[in-house]
Structure 1
Amino acid sequence: MPRVPTYDTAQIQQQPTRPIQLQGVAPDNTSIGQGLQGLARGAQMLMDKEREKADTARLMDADNQLTKWQQQAMYAENGGVYTRKGQNALDVTNQTLDQFEKAQEDIAKSLTSDQQRARYAQIVNSRRNSLSNDLNRYEYGERQNYYGQVEKAQLETSMQGAALEYRDPTKVDGHRQKMGAVLDSRAQRLGLSPEAAEAEKLKFNSSLNSDVLQRHANDDPYAAQKLLKQYEGAMTADDLVRVGGMIENKVDRLQQKAEMAQLRNEAKAERTLGKINAQISSGIPATDEMWKQWGSQVRGTPAQAEFNELIKQEVDTQKILRLPIDQQITAINAKTAKLQTEGGTVTDATNLNRLSRAVDASAKMMSDSPVDYFQQRLGGDVTPIDLNSPDLGAVLTDRVSAIQGMQQKFGSTVAMKPLLPQEAKQISAQLAEMSPEQQSQLFATLHSAMGDDKAYSGAMQQIAPDSPIRALTGLLAGKQRSMITNTNWFRPDDVVTSGDVAKTMALGESILNKSKTEKGADGKGASFPLPKQADFQLELNKQLGNVFAGQPQSYQLAAQAVKSYYTGAAAEKGNVSGEVDRSLLRQAIKASVGEVVDFNGGETLAPWGMPGHTFRDVATERLVGTMKAQGMSEADIATADALTLRQYKDGIYYVMQGQQFKYGTDGKPLMVNINEDAQ
């Protein structure tokens, strides 16, 4: 095939068309001539269109290259115009426009015709103007930011310098002038109005003056107070109020200190008097060394006179505190009556108030922690207990003897509580981690070591003040008694000791109220099958409800004890039916709180371990004996078989006449003690 020639349209030059004329020949106006002319014009138009397309394509490519360059120059993450901030953005316009010119010139080299270059020049001019506007706007903003940063740093340096060199007025003034020059330049740069410029200068000067004044106030509030008057015209109202108030507070504090020094000559003597007041109010006598030290701290000051008065007050307080409680109260009442009737000074009232607090604190310590009282206020020696020591019995016996001596001196306010508070807390924590068997052994150790039921009972109250069942368990463990829980015809009766009961009750309590250790051991999932609470409560009410009529709190405690024993006994017997066992419930009542006895038609509880028939005989005898001892008439004594008993505590009963208390000749409710030691 013949090769079709190709042409570069960019090389084709358009020539003006004109009619072809032959010299001496007339124009050909025939249809053939006209057709040839039309064909020539069509070919020319086709070439013009192709050339236009080629020009457009080259211009689009050039524009695309220029756009890519501009995007890279402006937005590139590493070195793009918009990543340059503050000082780094200065002169970015000229630098970028220079780069633009170089880039557009390199791109223009790809153009092949004057027409392409002419049209490209228009694109470049438009792009240059737009880019220049963007660059100028961005550079201006960053330039302003940079100026602002420099100005801010200058202002901060000036204020910091003034604060650091606050003791030198000349240097402070130099920093102030430098700051003023910066603010003037800033106002001119931002075009601030004179009013706005003056307001900004006042704000910064006020801040600088505030810093200087605060530094002076820490050194010498009086000097700061004088300087404030010099600065007040160059400070805002807010700063004047804030700094002025701070300075005034410091000045007031110094004045108060001076006044106190004038009254006491020194604050140390005042604090000493406060310590002495607190010591006397506590009721704890100060040591000789303490009085010696206090005396040296007030000697030669106006506080010496009050110190001497406090010595007399301490002597008076300790003298009263050595009296029995009733005599202490009588002495307080006498002093109060005298003050109210005869009048007195504020000091007299203060002394009486302090004495009253000392008596109250003393009585509370006697009741809550008598061993602490013995040690702290009576100067007694107290040896710490060690449950594993062979000397445990001797240590506790000494404490019991000390408390008994205090009871003889101060009366019944002194409680028989032989443990120190920290010891009771420690033993209580140990019990929470022990098994029922270990708890029973610990209780037996304590009871044996104390050798005194009242002391043991008091210790149980200290060890388990918030766990009445644990306290009751401890008391039972220490009774060292036995009881018949069931009478059998053809085999020996069922006999349990108080220790057995305590152990069973502790087992039940551990099932009902597991410790953290026990919960962790069984994964918190295991539980013992117990009767439904409603069924258990119903049966318990039938067997025990009448005994505690009118005594809901006592009944609640008894119910807890019975349930603990019932649960423990059921676990020991392997009773997992989940149904109420009436026989076991009767045994639980008898073992935990005592046998339910009908006395003269009213139900009550016999002392723990005492059989019902024995109780009736002893109670009748003690009731008649008590009525005779009260000096009641024979007619009253004849009604003894109609009187019932309501338990007050184990072995001690109120005498009831129907639903009312029976009163003795002394005007108090008549009470009967069935315990053996009451004979």
Structure 2
Amino acid sequence: MARVPTFDTAQVQQQPTRATELRGVAPDNSGIEQGLRSFQRGAEILVAKEREKADTALLMDADNQLTQWQQKAMYDENGGVYTRKGKNALDVTNQTLEQFDQTQAEIAKNLTNDAQRARYAQIVSSRRNSLSNDLNRYEYNERQNYYGEVEKGQLETSMQGAALDYQDPAKVQAYRAKADAVLASRAERLGLSPEAAEAEKLKFNSSLNSDVLQRHANDDPYTAQKLLKQYEGSMTADDLVRVGGMIENKVDRLQQKAEMAQLRAEARAERTLGKISAQISSGIPATDEMWKQWGSQVRGTPAQAEFNELVKQEVDTQKILRLPIDQQIAAINAKTAKLQTEGGTIADATNLNRLSRAVDASAKMMTESPIDYYQQRLGGDVAPVDLNSPDLGAVLTDRVSAIQGMQQKFGTTVAMKPLLPQEAKQISAQLAEMSPEQQSQLFATLHSAIGDDKAYSGAMQQIAPDSPIRALTGLLAGKQRSMVTNTNWFKPDDVVTSGDVAKTMALGESILNKSKTEKGADGKGASFPLPKQADFQLQLNKQLGNVFAGQPQSYQLAAQAVKSYYTGAAAERGNVSGEVDSGLLREAIKASVGEVVDFNGGKTLAPWGMPGHTFRDIASQRLVGTMKAQGMSDADIATADALTLRQYKDGIYYVMQGQQFKYGTDGKPLMVNVNEDAQ
């Protein structure tokens, strides 16, 4: 067993520590130094990358500014390059590049180092080259367009000048030479081949020569014919054919005119005879000046003898036309009978035919426009109608008196129509532009000014020949009567005047049949809610149908009048139900055409404004009185209670026996007038 040594604690002592000494060996710091150097290089790289990013961003901003300027400079609507055309585009390249240089230099001031400036210079150089190419190309095209416009203007003024100075050969040649010089310059500019240049020159000169020849042809076709031979070498085949044909036609017409003048010197005289014949047939007497002119046109020709006969025919015609119409007809019949029994020449037959046409034309004018007849045929003075003149009443009264005088002389053929056709047309046009209130006022003005119901009725027929409802409203406006439309138990009856009814009907008519002006004012417009036509017609037939039995046209007019009033009244009262209002329909019938009355078991209409009971009393008295005046027997008169009445017009009735007319002792249908002024 090994022995473990033992130590005496007294022998063990702590020795002092000595520093370690390293002799001849330095500390090893290589790893640290390498790390530091690596870190420094990384930082430098990072700084360089950030600097590059900053440079790139600044360059991109500079490029963007340059791009924005270029887009505005090229495309701006107010002065951009591409808005400059023709002459205005000249030197646009230099001007724009100068602006480009100034702009890029201003942008470059924001660059901060040489690297940025170097890269920016490359961008500017590339951009400037591209811009220069675009500008040069655009300016070249516009320059060519400008040259073309200038050349075109030169050619046009040369052609116009030659046409204006066509009578001066020297000036025409100067314009032609000027155009040739322009065409030569144009051919050189465009690089045209000699053949193409010559073709263009021929085409222009051909057009110029054509214009000059046409101007000459209008003055003197013979001169144009001579010039054509001089110009034919400098004109195209098409122009030669066209202009040559035109000149030949004019020459032919001149020759034909000369031949006609030689062969038929009386041609104008023949035409004059036709004018005279037409004048005589119209019935309008020719003036002394017209006869003087016609005489000079036939003098010295074979037509002179016929002219003398026509003078006699005119005298005979005017003499007959001054007779009453029945005597005019009698004269025509006598001449016709004489010609048929005794015979005569073709001239006699022609004269009679001409006289007959004159009488017919005269009668037609008396019926349609008696004031025209008074003015044109009788030489009467007619003052114009001015609705705003204080003399309106005097003017219309004079016309009524003139017509009444004509009626005394010519008979009932002369209609009581106091307006000239153009005046009636003008008033009708004014009515179409007026509101119902204004229409009623105009009708009242006319009625007051005319002062005669028959003349006023005739004027209404003239003003509204194609609008019976408008004519009816005019007549109602002039009646100056009132009627009870509804009787009430506990309040006053509903009373309306004829003027009120006229305004309501006019309002309804304006809703049902808008004028062009009204349609234009509201477009298609919202339609007023009316009852369905079938429903309205059914209810109307129930209340009014039997009144107009056998009178479909009268019923149609009455139906229109009733509907106009119904529509106007519904609009005034705000009735927008669209359903038939039976009470309003009864009122519309009574207000527009009169009260429906049962007379001896048959329905008829009382005169407007006359109550039914009054009508029955007056009608019974007038019927018996008329039968007695006819000299009918007591047996006939005893049947009066079985006779019915059918309206002929307001207040005048046919007497009916069942469905047949009752005839008087004179052989004519018996008629009864229940108007108050008929007693």
Shift of 1:162: 12
Aligned match of 1:614: 614
Whether the aligned pair in 2 keeps the contact of 1:328 and 1:359 (CA below 8 Å) is yes
Map residues 142-153 of structure 1 onto 2, 5 A cutoff.
none
Aligned match of 1:258: 262
**One-letter code aligned to 1:416:** M
Note the alpha carbon deviations across 1:439-495, whole angstroms, 9 max, x for none: 111111000000000000011111111111111000000001111112222222221
Aligned match of 1:627: 627
Which consecutive unaligned segments of at least 5 residues does structure 1 have? 1-77, 79-141, 180-203, 220-246
Aligned match of 2:652: 652
Shift of 1:597: 0.6
Aligned match of 2:69: none
Structure 1 residues 210 and 579, CA gap change in structure 2 (3 angstroms): closer
Aligned match of 2:68: none
Aligned match of 2:327: 327
Structure 1 residues 271 and 488, CA gap change in structure 2 (3 angstroms): same
User: Is residue 571 from structure 1 mapped to residue 602 from structure 2 by the alignment?
Assistant: no
Aligned match of 1:455: 455
Aligned match of 2:393: 393
CA distance, structure 1, for counterparts of residue 226 and residue 287 of structure 2: 59
Shift of 1:519: 3.1
Whether the aligned pair in 1 keeps the contact of 2:224 and 2:247 (CA below 8 Å) is no
Structure 1 residues 549 and 258, CA gap change in structure 2 (3 angstroms): same
Shift of 1:300: 3.6
Note the alpha carbon deviations across 1:409-465, whole angstroms, 9 max, x for none: 111111111111111111111111111111111111000000000000011111111
CA distance, structure 2, for counterparts of residue 526 and residue 208 of structure 1: 65
After TM superposition, the score normalised by the length of structure 2 is 0.65
User: Is residue 531 from structure 1 mapped to residue 531 from structure 2 by the alignment?
Assistant: yes
Structure 1 residues 255 and 624, CA gap change in structure 2 (3 angstroms): farther
Which consecutive unaligned segments of at least 5 residues does structure 2 have? 1-140, 142-191
Structure 1 residues 596 and 156, CA gap change in structure 2 (3 angstroms): closer
Structure 1 residues 149 and 471, CA gap change in structure 2 (3 angstroms): same
Shift of 1:523: 4.2
After TM superposition, the score normalised by the length of structure 1 is 0.65
User: Is residue 361 from structure 1 mapped to residue 365 from structure 2 by the alignment?
Assistant: no
Aligned match of 1:491: 491
Whether the aligned pair in 1 keeps the contact of 2:225 and 2:247 (CA below 8 Å) is no
CA distance, structure 2, for counterparts of residue 174 and residue 568 of structure 1: 81
Whether the aligned pair in 2 keeps the contact of 1:162 and 1:208 (CA below 8 Å) is no
CA distance, structure 2, for counterparts of residue 498 and residue 581 of structure 1: 22
Shift of 1:167: 8.0
Structure 1 residues 615 and 168, CA gap change in structure 2 (3 angstroms): closer
Aligned match of 2:154: none
Map residues 336-355 of structure 1 onto 2, 5 A cutoff.
336-355=336-355
Whether the aligned pair in 1 keeps the contact of 2:320 and 2:328 (CA below 8 Å) is yes
Structure 1 residues 640 and 257, CA gap change in structure 2 (3 angstroms): farther
**One-letter code aligned to 1:329:** I
RMSD: 3.5
**One-letter code aligned to 1:527:** S
Map residues 372-521 of structure 1 onto 2, 5 A cutoff.
372-521=372-521
CA distance, structure 1, for counterparts of residue 493 and residue 559 of structure 2: 26
Whether the aligned pair in 1 keeps the contact of 2:440 and 2:499 (CA below 8 Å) is yes
CA distance, structure 2, for counterparts of residue 284 and residue 590 of structure 1: 47
**One-letter code aligned to 1:258:** Q
Whether the aligned pair in 2 keeps the contact of 1:279 and 1:285 (CA below 8 Å) is yes
User: Is residue 269 from structure 1 mapped to residue 273 from structure 2 by the alignment?
Assistant: no
Structure 1 residues 304 and 588, CA gap change in structure 2 (3 angstroms): same
**One-letter code aligned to 1:324:** P
Identity %: 82
Shift of 1:515: 2.4
Aligned residue for 1:639, secondary structure, equals helix
Shift of 1:628: 2.1
Aligned residue for 2:264, secondary structure, equals helix
CA distance, structure 2, for counterparts of residue 566 and residue 162 of structure 1: 73
Whether the aligned pair in 2 keeps the contact of 1:273 and 1:307 (CA below 8 Å) is yes
CA distance, structure 1, for counterparts of residue 213 and residue 392 of structure 2: 73
Note the alpha carbon deviations across 1:603-638, whole angstroms, 9 max, x for none: 000110111111111111211222222222222222
CA distance, structure 2, for counterparts of residue 635 and residue 350 of structure 1: 58
**One-letter code aligned to 2:384:** P
Query: When the two structures are aligned, how many residues end up with a matched partner?
Result: 483
Point out the more displaced range, 364-373 or 575-584. Answer: 575-584
Shift of 1:297: 3.3
Aligned residue for 2:479, secondary structure, equals coil
CA distance, structure 1, for counterparts of residue 552 and residue 402 of structure 2: 37
CA distance, structure 1, for counterparts of residue 595 and residue 226 of structure 2: 99
Structure 1 residues 543 and 257, CA gap change in structure 2 (3 angstroms): same
Structure 1 residues 592 and 208, CA gap change in structure 2 (3 angstroms): closer
Whether the aligned pair in 2 keeps the contact of 1:166 and 1:216 (CA below 8 Å) is no
**One-letter code aligned to 1:318:** Q
CA distance, structure 1, for counterparts of residue 300 and residue 498 of structure 2: 68
**One-letter code aligned to 2:482:** S
Aligned match of 2:287: 287
User: Is residue 676 from structure 1 mapped to residue 676 from structure 2 by the alignment?
Assistant: yes
Whether the aligned pair in 2 keeps the contact of 1:166 and 1:212 (CA below 8 Å) is no
Shift of 1:313: 0.6
Structure 1 residues 215 and 172, CA gap change in structure 2 (3 angstroms): closer
CA distance, structure 1, for counterparts of residue 606 and residue 628 of structure 2: 23
Structure 1 residues 299 and 670, CA gap change in structure 2 (3 angstroms): same
Note the alpha carbon deviations across 1:148-204, whole angstroms, 9 max, x for none: 969998x989x999999988999999999x99xxxxxxxxxxxxxxxxxxxxxxxx9
CA distance, structure 2, for counterparts of residue 168 and residue 474 of structure 1: 67
Whether the aligned pair in 2 keeps the contact of 1:162 and 1:212 (CA below 8 Å) is no
Map residues 151-300 of structure 1 onto 2, 5 A cutoff.
218-219=250-251, 255-261=259-265, 264=266, 267-300=267-300
